[in-house]
């Protein structure tokens, strides 16, 4: 059966041949796998690509362990990782600096941030990691950035709402990230992607942060944006005047699709300061597994305060928990 490979595939293969670093090779192979027509005639090639990819990933991990500093691999911390992305001067570094205590370099000229920087954003009683990244350009992204983005849980696309080219910034960023299959094409409510996806990779949810709402043209620009791209959810903020920041935090939490679950030992007061963080849809069993690997086996029963019909109701291990629930696990 003929493979019938597409121009897109050959372009990706070309990028693979030209790639010099492991990072770039992985990126290109992922692209090849994503665009290869999926049918019987390409099964062998697909298998070969996957083999090469896993070999490279192993190689990359070994390298990362021995390398002193790998600027593009961002170790995850906290309840979720939101990656800040956008064109130069939009306010990416200011966002990190304002929402976290990280000291990113902020300057009135572009290309100040050359390496990803991270900080922790307190939200209610959890910490969410934010990552500042080097800017996108009209040619795309600096090498390695795509892998940083793909490793995140959420993208915060920052645009300068006061600038004349803010529409262009949104269009270019969205089409670039869609083309690279970091985000999903169709604009869904709240920009949340459908899961699961057919593709090998998972798409990232994103929030478009319209910064500099203190500037004169910002309101008009947003009105135009909303008219031209209906369905796009924009979150207006001003880092200068510190407006809109609380609702941005709420949106970040929502978009991460996580819940906070508190635990209590039988007969004791619940620990309301250190919640466990689960993915939305997480069950009692997931919680038990999070606390200790052998808890699921030893779990006798669980009681829930909060989402249960009545306080302290005994629930099954597949009971789906909700944000704010308090759970008592009885372990044998």
Ligand X SMILES: Nc1nc2c(ncn2[C@@H]2O[C@H](COP(=O)(O)OP(=O)(O)O)[C@@H](O)[C@H]2O)c(=O)[nH]1
Residues that bind ligand X (CB under 6 A): 86, 88-94, 106-108, 110, 112-113, 135, 211-212, 214-215, 238-240
Structure tokens at 183: 């985000």
To ligand X, the closest distance from the beta carbon of 237 in angstroms equals 7
Residue 45 binding: pick among ligand X, Mg ion, none (C-beta 5-8 Å cut-off by kind): none
* 98 part of the interface to Mg ion, by CB under 5 A: no
* 112 part of the interface to Mg ion, by CB under 5 A: yes
The side-by-side arrangement of strands in the sheet containing 313-315 is: 271-279, 258-264, 326-331, 299-305, 313-315
Residue 181 binding: pick among Mg ion, ligand X, none (C-beta 5-8 Å cut-off by kind): none
Nearer to ligand X by Cβ, of 137 and 313: the residue is 137
Contact 325, 307 (CB under 8 A): yes
To Mg ion, the closest distance from the beta carbon of 75 in angstroms equals 21
Question: Interface with Mg ion by CB under 5 A: which range of 90-98, 206-214, 216-224, 294-302?
Answer: 90-98
Residue 21 CA to residue 11 CA, distance in Å, equals 18
- Cα–Cα nearest to 120, from 74, 79, 167, 165: 79
Contact 61, 75 (CB under 8 A): no
Question: Interface with Mg ion by CB under 5 A: which range of 38-46, 88-96, 137-145, 241-249?
Answer: 88-96
Cα distances from 112 to residues 50, 56, 91, 182, in angstroms, run 37, 31, 11, 24
Question: Interface with Mg ion by CB under 5 A: which range of 105-113, 239-247, 267-275, 307-315?
Answer: 105-113
Residue 134 binding: pick among ligand X, Mg ion, none (C-beta 5-8 Å cut-off by kind): none
Positive or negative, the CA dihedral 198, 146, 238, 242 is positive
Residue 94 binding: pick among ligand X, Mg ion, none (C-beta 5-8 Å cut-off by kind): ligand X
* 93 part of the interface to Mg ion, by CB under 5 A: yes
To ligand X, the closest distance from the beta carbon of 265 in angstroms equals 45
To ligand X, the closest distance from the beta carbon of 260 in angstroms equals 30
> Do strands 258-264 and 326-331 pair parallel, antiparallel, or not at all (unpaired)?
parallel
Residue 60 binding: pick among ligand X, Mg ion, none (C-beta 5-8 Å cut-off by kind): none
To ligand X, the closest distance from the beta carbon of 234 in angstroms equals 14
Nearer to ligand X by Cβ, of 118 and 263: the residue is 118
Residues 6+ apart with CB under 8 A from 96: 84, 102, 104, 117, 118, 119, 130, 131, 132
- C-alpha count within 13 angstroms, C-beta hemisphere, residue 238: 12
To ligand X, the closest distance from the beta carbon of 88 in angstroms equals 5
Give the binding site for Mg ion (CB under 5 A).
92-93, 112-113
């Amino acid at each position: 059966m003929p493979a019938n490979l597409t121009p897109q595939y050959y372009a990706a293969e070309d990028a693979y041949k030209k790639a010099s670093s492991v990072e770039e090779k992985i990126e290109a192979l992922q692209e090849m796998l994503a665009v290869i027509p999926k049918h019987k005639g390409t099964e062998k090639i697909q298998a070969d690509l996957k083999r090469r990819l896993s070999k490279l990933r192993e190689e990359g991990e070994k390298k990362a362990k021995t390398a002193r500093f790998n600027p593009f691999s961002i170790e995850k911390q906290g309840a979720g990782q939101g990656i800040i992305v956008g064109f130069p001067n939009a306010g990416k570094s200011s966002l990190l600096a304002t929402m976290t205590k990280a000291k990113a370099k902020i300057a009135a000229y572009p290309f100040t941030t050359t390496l990803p920087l991270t900080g922790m954003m307190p939200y209610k009683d959890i910490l969410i990691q934010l990552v500042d990244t080097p800017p996108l350009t009209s040619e795309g992204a600096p090498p390695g950035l795509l892998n940083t983005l793909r490793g995140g849980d959420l993208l915060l696309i920052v645009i300068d709402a006061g600038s004349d080219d803010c529409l262009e910034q949104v269009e270019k960023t969205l089409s670039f990230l869609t083309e690279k299959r970091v985000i999903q094409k169709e604009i869904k409510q709240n920009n949340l992607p459908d899961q699961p996806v057919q593709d090998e990779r998972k798409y990232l949810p994103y929030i478009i942060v319209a910064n500099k709402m203190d500037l004169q043209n910002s309101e008009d620009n947003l009105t135009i944006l909303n008219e031209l791209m209906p369905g796009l959810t924009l979150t207006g903020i001003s880092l200068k005047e510190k407006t809109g920041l609380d609702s941005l935090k709420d949106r970040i939490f929502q978009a991460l699709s996580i819940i906070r679950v508190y635990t209590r030992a039988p007969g004791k007061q619940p620990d309301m300061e250190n919640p466990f963080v689960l993915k939305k849809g997480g069950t009692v069993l997931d919680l038990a597994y999070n606390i200790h690997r052998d808890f699921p086996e030893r779990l006798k029963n669980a009681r829930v305060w909060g989402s249960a019909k009545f306080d302290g109701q005994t629930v099954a291990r597949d009971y789906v928990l909700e944000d704010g629930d308090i759970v008592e696990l009885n372990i044998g």
